[in-house]
Amino acid sequence: MKVSSPVGDFPFEPLRLKAGAGHLTLEGQVGAWPARVEFTPGDIVALARAAGARAAVPALATVVAVSLARRWMRHG
């Protein structure tokens, strides 16, 4: 993945996806810096609209499945 900004283009390396109360957090690295992106349900709906609902469904299903699996494994 790549993050583009006025100061340049930087690689984004995702490291962890965490499920929190009412949001998902994607933690990673942008270049040399730690980065975090938080998604609320409203953000996911907005992303689905921006991508076109049909294109976003597989990605959204994957995020939800990974989140639920991690939560299940953590709480046994």
Flag the least confident range among 18-22, 26-30, 46-50, 52-56: 52-56
pLDDT of residue 28: 93
> Which position has the higher pLDDT, 19 or 53?
19
CA angle centred on 22, ends 71 and 72, rounded to 5°? 10
Residue 32 has pLDDT above 80, yes or no: yes
The residue range of the domain holding 13 is: 2-75
Q: Which residues lie across from 29 on neighbouring strands?
A: 13, 34
Is 76 a residue whose pLDDT tops 90? no
Give the chain's radius of gyration (CA, Å).
14
Task: Quote the number of domains for the chain.
Answer: 1
Average pLDDT, integer, range 22-39: 89
Share of the chain above pLDDT 70, in %: 84
